[in-house]
Structure 1
Amino acid sequence: MKKQFYLLFFCSIILGCQPKITPKPTADFDFTVDTGGRVQFTNKSQDADRYQWIFTDGQASTDPNPLITFKSNGIYSAQLIAKGRAGTDDITRSVEITTVAVQARPVANFDYTIGAGGRVQFTNKSTNADRYQWIFNDGQASTDPSPVITFKSNGTHSVQLYAKNIIGIDDITKSIEITDVVTTGTALFWVNSSVATDIEIYVDNGLRGIITRSQSAAPACGAEGYVTLTYPAGTYSYYAKSKTQSWSGTFTVKNGTCTTKMLGE
């Protein structure tokens, strides 16, 4: 009877001293795809105390539940390695990203409004662009989105707009017809009251008019009895003569203005 007791006693001791077995880790996770390519990973691994995340775009993390942002749409693989005292386990899942906003290529376009004196307001109607370059065939240029440009001569002018963004560049060219730029001015020849009249005015070796009146102050351009000439902007030579006197010199014409020239001044 005693032998049986001791045998049971020692068996219970042996069974009670057996080591506790630590289970191997089991890797598992879920994820939630958010806007802008952001993905929240939720670690559901068991029997692990260390983690390694590896993503096919080159990112990595050791956080248990990392928040990862993918920069472009597509299908990515996400691998989780779960580590514990009894070993490692890993799992790989595919993550499809469709929430990254894709910037489109720029499309260049513009309208314009022609004002007085060759002044043009350009209205930029380009899309998907953040930088602009305007080139005009008269040598002017601008990087303003919607510039105001003044053309100095009449005629057909070409306007080219480049629209740019990080993706690429687009351009468009339009023609603008300018017709109201003033390209001439006037010059009035006159004499004061102390000078005889009937004075002939010659420009470019041709008789252009005769002064038949005189007064103490300069008359307005076009006044009767005086010589008013219209020329493109520039400097011209003249010659004037009466029966007793003669004069010569130069006069300057400015666009859109009247210049008075008193003989003998």
Structure 2
Amino acid sequence: MKQLFSSSLFKSAYLLFFWVIAISCQPKITPKPVADFSFESVPNEPGRIKFINRSQHATRYQWNFGDGQSSTESDPTIKYGRNGLFSVELTAKNTAGTDVANNSVLIEGVTVSGSVIFWTNSRGDGSDIEVQLDGQLKGAITSAQPSGNAPGCGTDGFVTVYTSNGTFSYYAKSKTKSWSGVVTVQNGTCTNKLLAQ
């Protein structure tokens, strides 16, 4: 009986040993990542958003926040410099592949910090000059300042845009002429942009 018991015990231990070896030799399969995120406003800080990464099986991340900012952090907090609707994209990656999640973030309450006035020195063809900033119509120039000195921001007959700091593209047109380029707005200043005739 003693020999039978130790023979059975030996066989059981032997089988257990090979079973453990067989299991440990199985290749580990890495699942593809699943990108997901949420976000929340940081209290009392307009434009500051905390992004919460809810991705699964990912080891690396690439964020694009829709305003030119990006990050590779897992859970970034960023500050938007202007109000608007921004499309945010998170790419989650691992050795098995990538996945992408998108969401829109509405930013409101960012304090306007500067201004730009669009003006002209002549009425040219006599028509008003429509002014767009970042693709949005902001108004029409209906006057001219022939002296060559820029009017102050807010002067009637010209287009003044109040906005946050940044560089913005503009496009302006009259019946016979158009202008385009970029203009930079800085904190607390009135930038002037001459649309020369």
Q: TM-score, normalised by structure 1?
A: 0.37
Q: Greater relative contact order: 1 or 2 (C-alpha under 8 angstroms, separation 6 or more)?
A: 2
TM-score (norm: length of structure 2) = 0.49
The structure whose Rg is larger is 1
Higher percent of residues as strand: 1
